Amino acid sequence: MLEKLKSEFEKKFGQHDDVRSYFAPGRVNLIGEHTDYNGGHVFPCALTLGTYGVARKREDNKLRFYSLNFEKLGVMESDLNDLKPCKEANWTNYPKGVMWAYEERGYKLPSGLDILIYGNIPNGSGLSSSASLEVLTGVILKDMFGFDVSMVDIALIGQYSENNFNGCNCGIMDQFASAMGKKDNAIFLDTNTLEYEYAPVVLEDAKIVIINSKVKHSLVDSAYNDRRNECETALKELQTVVDIKTLGDLTEEEFEAHKDAIKSEIRQKRAKHAVYENQRAIKAVEALKENDVETFGKLMNASHVSLRDDYEVSCEEIDILVDLAWAIDGVVGSRITGGGFGGCTVSIVKNDAVDHFVESIGAKYKEKVGHEAEFYVVDIGDGAGVLN
């Protein structure tokens, strides 16, 4: 893979003697969805799928980008003096946003770069291809220019750039998982405090299977920001009757006692999901620590129902995939994962049921929706870093 990327780099940008190579993973969230901007807990893990980068410093301020995923766009040129978002910049708005965010923090980029990237995360799948690209860029800049930033800083810089440069009001989970991932572990992260612990994901007789619905979504254009605004309004309404900083501060019982302060049925449903999903994430990690995979699976299922009915971020194709999964013996749990409105499901499937799971759901999904789904039996990998 790296030799191929270096060869492509040489074709586009000339000699590659002084290039360096990088990788940042995508992520799947096992449970704790849409809690990361509501002060709750999340439980993501880094994947072995992700974004590769090959980069080299330049002598001038020019930025040259090339992606093997968007070959038709060719080499896209920009300049360090022109770090502004624009439609014509297409995918390069993500790395440019990270460069802008570094400079906002006072880290002046001393020169331009040539950057070639290749990602094997399906675009629009909800496995965080954008966060992976942001974290990759953060690692490139840290390594190339010797910036004194931690991996947590890189995650925060990536989130800041996506919020303020690319206009998607995402939480910290995706960037944190990509930057801080650890092989065979998920990250139990309190998004309110950024306290975290690694929890081994020991599935002795089961696998994590991701299904890509092949329904693409764009969080910037979707109702994602609407959901966040609804939760923020609900929080303000609750704060008139109870002393809390975030929705994640409430237990289910406390929410039920005070929910009438929220003056809209829609906002009540949104806040209920945020509160209950946070508690599900806490319970799920406890279950995993006790090797109680069955309880973990039941909490995954309940998470999907809440995302479908209360948060309303699912869609017909995703619901079909989850319903088909629930009907198969050997499926421990299944749910939508990611921002929603398409993308992927994540399931825990017993080893002896994986082949049947793929064949049965693959055939029935195509019959129902008219196109094929993609299946990934995934491994949990390490976070972002330098490859050579």
pLDDT value of position 127? 82
Are residues 165 and 211 located together in one domain of the fold?
A: no
The enclosing domain of 285 has a CATH number of 3.30.70.890
Close Cβ partners of 198 (under 8 Å, ≥ 6 residues apart): 182, 185, 186, 187, 188
Tell me: pLDDT of 112 over 90.
yes
pLDDT in tens, 212-257: 999 875 654 568 889 999 999 999 999 999 999 999 999 999 999 9
Q: Which residue has the tokens 């020019």?
A: 62
Catalytic residue among 36, 174, 190, 249: 174
Are residues 167 and 244 located together in one domain of the fold?
A: no
Query: Within this chain, do residues 187 and 215 fall inside the same structural domain, yes or no?
Result: no
Task: Say if residue 230 is in the same domain as residue 180.
Answer: no
In this prediction, what percent of the chain has a pLDDT beyond 90? 86
* Cβ atoms of residues 65 and 76 within 8 Å: yes
Same domain? 196 vs 223: no
Residue of 346, 347, 342 lying closest to 369 (CA atoms): 342
> pTM of the prediction?
0.90
Same domain, 147 and 222: no
Domain, as residue range, for 121: 2-200+382-386
Q: What is the pLDDT of residue 334?
A: 98
Q: Can you spell out the DSSP letters for 253-264?
A: HHHHHHGGGS--
Q: Are residues 136 and 259 in the same domain?
A: no
pLDDT digits (tens, 9 = 90+) for 47-63: 999 999 999 999 999 99
First to last CA, the chain: 13
Total H helices, total E strands in the chain: 11, 13
For residues 138 and 42, state if they share a domain: yes
| Total domains present in the chain | 2
- Exposure string of 230-261, with b = 16+ CB inside 10 Å and e = fewer, is bbbbbbebbeeeeebebbbbbeeeebeebbeb
Do 161 and 18 have their domain in common? yes
pLDDT for 27 beyond 90:
yes
- Helix ranges restricted to H, 203-315: 224-238, 252-258, 265-289, 293-309
pLDDT tens, 70-82?
Answer: 999 999 999 999 9
Same domain, 192 and 307: no
Which pLDDT value is given to residue 158? 97
- Pair (184, 230) in one structural domain: no
For residue 174, indicate whether it is catalytic. Answer: yes
Residues 93 and 188 in one domain: yes
